[in-house]
């Protein structure tokens, strides 16, 4: 069906096409996935996942279809980014397809319906099976962004399987400054306190555009802090090797061209943390071989989004099938055995 609909979707503005996709998924379009091969099951930060492939934040900003994404075969779904107060984000147009590069540039700016709306939707699904994480951010006009993150952790804690603290979007001015050592130390302290006695895993999502000293600082602050893992990485400001006419649009670039950069920074973090911290690999995954490369570089879990734009929902099944084949080829009995073997 996707092969038939894709030319029509690509005639539409990218944001409108995305809204139609969410509506279709919410109406149950797409095949229900078969049970996963047991060798794909894994446990990370105390959570059990039927397979290591998740839908990244950005696809379902307002928690409209997390269970539908699980039904399609994802091992987990991450909703958001959610801010304490609703906000419209940046002016349109703000999503640009780079078809020749199988990439997307977005400058959405954390457009979402706010914490209360997302919390109510997740509360309505409370008790249903499946791991659903919430990605939290700060409002653009906030006078205290660290307080915004603490509010997100505190407000979503009862309804999320885990929470991701997103300090790596390039589309909110100044947000990436929270990756600096001193600010990150303050932020980590605040979100750990906001979590309270809950055993809720907390992840921090970082950018791919980091220098070696940044990686060392982040790893030093996070390791042993109580943060349960790092998500690597968000979109990039780099434009190396792009050929599409939209390549010069402002915003963060995702998709196939990000694979090499994001995997290299993932490997750097694996080494910097000594393998002591779970890592989630994101960026450029469009095949089972890509997912496997992330896992071998140090990712316990992987996430994708832009690949679906170009390959459709069959990509989920294809990645899992190829992961099983590659794991068996290399003599691994479980996906966890392959984590970090190339780091």
Binding site feature residues: 57-61, 81, 106-110, 135, 166, 171, 205, 233-235, 255, 284, 305-306
What gap in Å lies between CA 185 and CA 167, rounded to an integer? 13
What gap in Å lies between CA 125 and CA 47, rounded to an integer? 18
Residues whose CB falls within 8 Å of the CB of residue 17, separated by 6 or more in sequence, listed in order? 9, 10
Question: Could you tell me the end-to-end alpha-carbon distance of the chain, in angstroms, rounded to an integer?
Answer: 39
Binding-site residue numbers for FMN are 57-61, 81, 135, 166, 205, 233, 255, 284, 305-306
DSSP characters over 135-190: EE---TT-S-HHHHHHHHHHHHTTT-S-EEEE---TTSTTGGGGGSHHHHHHHHHH
Instruction: Find, among 95, 61, 102, the residue nearest to 78 by Cα.
Output: 61
Do residues 111 and 57 touch, judged by C-beta distance below 8 A?
no
Helix, strand, coil tally for the chain in percent (to 5): 40, 15, 45
Do residues 85 and 141 touch, judged by C-beta distance below 8 A?
no
Do residues 89 and 116 touch, judged by C-beta distance below 8 A?
no
The number of beta carbons lying within 10 Å of the beta carbon of residue 123 is 12
Q: Which of 169, 244, 262, 300 is catalytic?
A: 169
Structure tokens at 181: 């050592």
Structure tokens at 35: 């049970």
Active-site annotation holds for 244 = no
CA distances from 58 to 42, 195, 292, 314 (A): 24, 23, 23, 19
What gap in Å lies between CA 242 and CA 96, rounded to an integer? 13
Catalytic positions are 169
């Amino acid at each position: 069906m996707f092969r038939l609909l894709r030319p029509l979707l690509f005639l539409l503005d990218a944001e409108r096409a995305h809204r139609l996709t969410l509506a279709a998924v919410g109406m149950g379009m797409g095949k229900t996935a078969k049970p996963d091969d047991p060798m794909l099951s894994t446990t990370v930060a105390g959570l059990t996942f039927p397979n290591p492939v998740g839908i990244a934040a950005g696809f379902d900003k307002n928690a409209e279809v997390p269970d539908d994404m699980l039904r399609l075969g994802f091992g987990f779904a991450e909703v958001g980014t959610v801010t304490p107060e609703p906000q419209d984000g940046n002016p349109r147009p703000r999503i640009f397809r780079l078809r020749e590069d199988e990439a997307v540039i977005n400058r959405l700016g954390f457009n979402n319906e706010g914490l209360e709306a997302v919390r109510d939707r997740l509360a309505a699904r409370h008790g249903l099976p499946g791991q659903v994480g919430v990605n939290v951010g700060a409002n653009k006009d906030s006078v205290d962004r660290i307080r915004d993150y603490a509010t997100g952790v505190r407000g979503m804690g009862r309804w999320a399987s885990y929470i991701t603290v997103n300090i790596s979007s390039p589309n909110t001015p100044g947000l990436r400054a929270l990756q600096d050592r001193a600010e990150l130390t303050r932020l980590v302290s605040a979100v750990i306190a906001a979590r309270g006695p809950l055993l809720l895993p907390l992840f921090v999502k970082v950018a791919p555009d980091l220098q070696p000293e940044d990686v060392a600082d982040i790893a030093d602050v996070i390791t042993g802090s109580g943060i349960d893992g790092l998500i690597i990485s968000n979109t990039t400001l780099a434009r190396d090797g792009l050929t599409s006419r939209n390549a010069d649009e402002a915003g963060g670039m995702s998709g196939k061209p990000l694979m090499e950069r994001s995997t290299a920074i993932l490997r750097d973090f694996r080494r910097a943390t000594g393998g002591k911290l779970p890592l989630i690999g994101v960026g450029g995954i469009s095949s089972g071989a890509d997912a496997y490369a992330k896992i071998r570089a140090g990712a316990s879990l992987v996430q994708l989004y832009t690949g679906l734009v170009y390959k459709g929902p069959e990509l989920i099944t294809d990645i899992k099938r190829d992961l099983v084949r590659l794991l068996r080829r290399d003599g691994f009995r479980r996906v966890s055995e392959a984590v970090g073997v190339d780091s």
